[in-house]
Chains A and B, each alone.
Chain A
Amino acid sequence: AQSVTQPDIHITVSEGASLELRCNYSYGATPYLFWYVQSPGQGLQLLLKYFSGDTLVQGIKGFEAEFKRSQSSFNLRKPSVHWSDAAEYFCAVGLLKAAGNKLTFGGGTRVLVKP
């Protein structure tokens, strides 16, 4: 069965500094990988996704992620963090079936942004 690990439960970063969130997955086949963000009181919003092709994926809000098959990782990065990036971030792996895309989520990383 697939699984996702996000080693960092909390990360605190200063506004303007760079951010990297780690994600490791376990999956027997080529994974479909996702990063979602959840702001307080909001649903999960997709930041970016990887299915195939270029291993560096660009997303919304200035985020990018790099798929590294050799390390089973899909880390999320942002060069310069804004106060509005304070939220919880979830990495997920998708299992594509004919009648649905079950997502398996990591435990999430809560990002706090210091002024």
Chain B
Amino acid sequence: EPEVTQTPSHQVTQMGQEVILRCVPISNHLYFYWYRQILGQKVEFLVSFYNNEISEKSEIFDDQFSVERPDGSNFTLKIRSTKLEDSAMYFCASQKTTSTDTQYFGPGTRLTVL
């Protein structure tokens, strides 16, 4: 069964550094998402992406965050200057359409900012 993959599984970085989290969505899917889960808290929506542009973003997704689909297979989340509070598990998800289709989640990247 096709699945969403994410790399790396764990990323450690210094505060102020840039990080790029990578996701490979399921190949025929059209809608892409990033969510995050700070330890002990809820899974939170960050951004949705369709037709090569952001369709919705949360208040968390400020100017330090950006997303890109640089080629036909990858979907990336960049954090320009990481803060301690960016430490979290980041999940990528993809969806074929927005009707009743399922959002399929990747296994997550755990980001630790020191």
* Residues of chain A having any CB pair with chain B under 8 Å: 32, 36, 41-46, 49, 51, 90, 92, 96-108
B87 interfacial contact with A, CB 8 Å = no
- Tell me whether A43 and B55 are in contact (CB under 8 A): no
Task: A108 to B102: give the CA distance in the assembly, Å.
Answer: 19
The 8 closest A-B pairs by CB, nearest first: A100-B48, A99-B55, A44-B105, A43-B105, A105-B43, A43-B107, A100-B55, A99-B50
- Tell me whether B50 and A90 are in contact (CB under 8 A): no
Taking CB atoms, residues of chain B closer than 8 Å to A43 are 4, 91, 105-108
Find the A residue at minimum CB distance from B92. A43
Main secondary structure of the interface of B (DSSP, over half): strand
* Residues of chain B having any CB pair with chain A under 8 Å: 4, 31, 33, 35, 41-45, 48-51, 55-56, 91, 93, 95, 98-100, 102-108
Tell me the number of A-to-B contacts counted with CB atoms below 8 Å. Answer: 68
Min CB distance B105 to A, Å, is: 4
Taking CB atoms, residues of chain B closer than 8 Å to A44 are 43, 91, 93, 105
